[in-house]
């Protein structure tokens, strides 16, 4: 019997991917406006921030899943050289441009932003190189360093996209990157399995989400009857469990009070609950694709337009989040701050893209 090949679909554009792009981008901003969760205190604000960390932790997993879905089968469309030109170069260029802009802004106006003293201390070309190579200009750019690593692996992984091979990759990576950290969090020292299972490649939870995106889109979604309501329940339940588990882990309702250092395990990307949350959200909107295709064309164009700005919003929203001028205005409303910063960043990114588009057309 021959190995089962991916189930393909004639659609060239998936609207649910655009929707997920927008949702995940908003979620990223929400995560960064709720970082107060990392400083436990007995306040309602802290609980709201923990809730946001739990509800929106799917952000980067969804981005990894979308990338894996779109890229692991790239050989059917173009060669490896074209793949690197279209993807790795585009991402690397975005990382470089974002780093240069943030470095200049932080270095020239260090008193206007949080945590920029080290950049101002050795501001210059050599200083930029040091900070760029250590991801200390804008640490949320870890995503770009991680996705570039996955791009380097993609020519190899694209040779292993048969159903059984992908199932093996997902299973093994899930065990090493998710199950073993769970065992350690439950109290078993890592020394008892570190030697046997300390495999750096499969310990990457980013790789797990990358592979899951392709596997779900090609081997689950086409053959499993859509159950959006089950996916919705799984998303809400996993999010709620992450919230309460994180509160309990940090000493909420305990006699000793809150822990001095925030324990983020349950609302982190390696948590099995986070995997359930991301997978259920991905499946939910993938199963809603037929309904999304029936919305008015003007709405679908708007969704695609907003989605196209997601990369720019990810790159530059931190300039609003970290600034010291607007932040004090809404200290108790991290969700409102996130939506405000998302809209402001989107408008700037859209305006800049429009100007460049006009200039290109005039050439």
- Distance of alpha carbon 170 from alpha carbon 156, whole angstroms: 15
Distance CA 348, CA 359 (A): 17
Q: What is the greatest pairwise CA distance in the chain?
A: 70
Q: For position 10, what pLDDT does the model report? A: 42
Rounded distance, CA 211 to CA 198, Å?
20
Q: Mark residue 192 as left, alpha or beta (left: phi above 0; alpha: psi -120 to 50; beta: remaining).
A: alpha
Task: Using the predicted structure, report yes or no on whether residue 9 has a pLDDT greater than 60.
Answer: no
Among 67, 85, 280, residue whose Cα is nearest residue 158: 67
d(CA 98, CA 116): 15
Q: Which residues contact 145 (CB under 8 A, 6 or more apart)?
A: 95, 135
Share of the chain above pLDDT 90, in %: 77
Cβ neighbour number for residue 49 with a 10 Å cutoff: 24
Query: Nearest CA to 234 among 242, 222, 225?
Result: 242
pLDDT one-digit tens code per residue, 22-46: 999 999 999 999 999 999 998 999 9
* Beta-ladder partners of 323: 113
Identify the residue whose tokens are 């469309």. Answer: 77
Given this model, what pLDDT does residue 44 score?
A: 92
* pLDDT reading at 1 higher than 70: no
- Residue 331 has a pLDDT of 67
Residue-wise pLDDT for 140-196, tens only, equals 999 999 999 999 999 999 999 999 999 999 999 999 999 999 999 999 988 888 777
Closest CA to 246 of 79, 54, 31, 23: 54
The Cα–Cα gap between 127 and 140 comes to 19
The residue behind tokens 């093996």 is 168
DSSP for 2-55, written as a single string: PPPPPPP-S-S--HHHHHHHHHHHHHHHHHHT-GGGGS--SSHHHHHHHHHHHH
pLDDT value of residue 8: 45
Q: How far is CA 86 from CA 78, 92, 263, 360, in A?
A: 10, 11, 39, 19
pLDDT digits (tens, 9 = 90+) for 94-111: 999 999 999 999 999 988
The CA distance from 213 to 215, in Å, is 6
The pLDDT score that the predictor gives to residue 169 is: 96
Say how far apart CA 107 and CA 274 lie, in whole Å.
Answer: 36
Task: Write out the DSSP string of 268-291.
Answer: STTSHHHHHHHHHHHHHHHHTHHH
Per-residue confidence band for 6, with pLDDT thresholds at 50, 70 and 90: low
| Mean of all residue pLDDT scores within the chain | 91
Q: φ, ψ for residue 314 (rounded to 5)?
A: -60, -40
Lowest average pLDDT, out of 51-65, 81-95, 111-125, goes to: 111-125
Q: At what angle do helices 15-32 and 334-362 cross, to 10 degrees?
A: 130
Q: Is 210 exposed, middle or buried (0-12, 13-18, 19+ CB in 10 A)?
A: buried
* Range 213-236 burial, b when 16+ CB lie within 10 A, else e: bbbbbbbebeeeebeeeebeebbe
Tens digit of each residue's pLDDT (9 = 90 or more) over 325-345: 655 556 678 999 999 999 999
Write the pLDDT tens digit of every residue in 217-249.
Answer: 999 999 999 999 999 999 999 999 999 999 999
Residue 288: how many other CB atoms lie within 10 Å: 16
pLDDT at position 194: 79
Which pLDDT does position 162 carry in this prediction? 94
pLDDT for the residue 325: 63
């Amino acid at each position: 019997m021959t190995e089962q090949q991916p189930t393909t679909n004639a659609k060239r554009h998936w609207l649910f991917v655009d929707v997920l792009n927008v949702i995940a981008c908003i979620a990223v901003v929400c995560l960064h406006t709720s970082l107060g969760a990392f400083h436990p205190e007995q306040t309602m604000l802290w609980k709201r921030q923990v809730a946001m960390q739990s509800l929106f932790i799917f952000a980067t997993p969804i981005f990894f899943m979308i990338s894996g879905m779109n890229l692991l089968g790239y050989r059917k469309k173009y060669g490896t050289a074209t793949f690197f030109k279209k993807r790795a170069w585009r991402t690397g260029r975005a990382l470089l441009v974002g780093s240069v802009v943030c470095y200049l802004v932080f270095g020239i106006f260090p008193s206007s932003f949080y945590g920029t003293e080290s950049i101002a201390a050795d501001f210059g070309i050599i200083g930029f190189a040091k900070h760029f190579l250590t991801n200390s200009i804008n640490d949320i750019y870890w995503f770009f360093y991680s996705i570039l690593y996955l791009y380097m692996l993609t020519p190899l992984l694209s040779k292993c996209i048969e159903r059984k091979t992908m199932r093996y990759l997902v299973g093994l990576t899930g065990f090493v990157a998710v199950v073993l950290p769970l065992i350690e969090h439950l109290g078993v020292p890592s020394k008892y399995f570190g030697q046997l299972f300390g495999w750096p490649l499969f310990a990457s939870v980013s790789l797990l989400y990358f592979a899951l995106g392709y596997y779900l889109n090609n081997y689950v979604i086409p053959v499993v009857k859509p159950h959006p309501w089950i996916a919705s329940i799984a998303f809400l339940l996993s999010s709620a469990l992450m919230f309460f588990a994180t509160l309990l882990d940090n000493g909420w309702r305990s006699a000793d009070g809150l822990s001095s250092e925030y324990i983020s395990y349950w609302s982190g990307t390696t948590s099995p609950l986070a995997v359930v949350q991301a997978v259920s959200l991905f499946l939910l909107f993938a199963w809603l694709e037929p309904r999304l295709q029936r919305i008015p064309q003007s709405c679908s164009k708007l969704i695609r337009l907003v989605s196209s700005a997601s990369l720019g919003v990810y790159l530059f929203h931190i300039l609003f989040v970290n600034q010291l001028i607007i932040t004090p205005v809404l200290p108790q409303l991290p969700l409102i701050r996130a939506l405000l910063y998302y809209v402001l960043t989107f408008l700037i990114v859209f305006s800049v893209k429009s100007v460049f588009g006009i200039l290109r057309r005039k050439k």
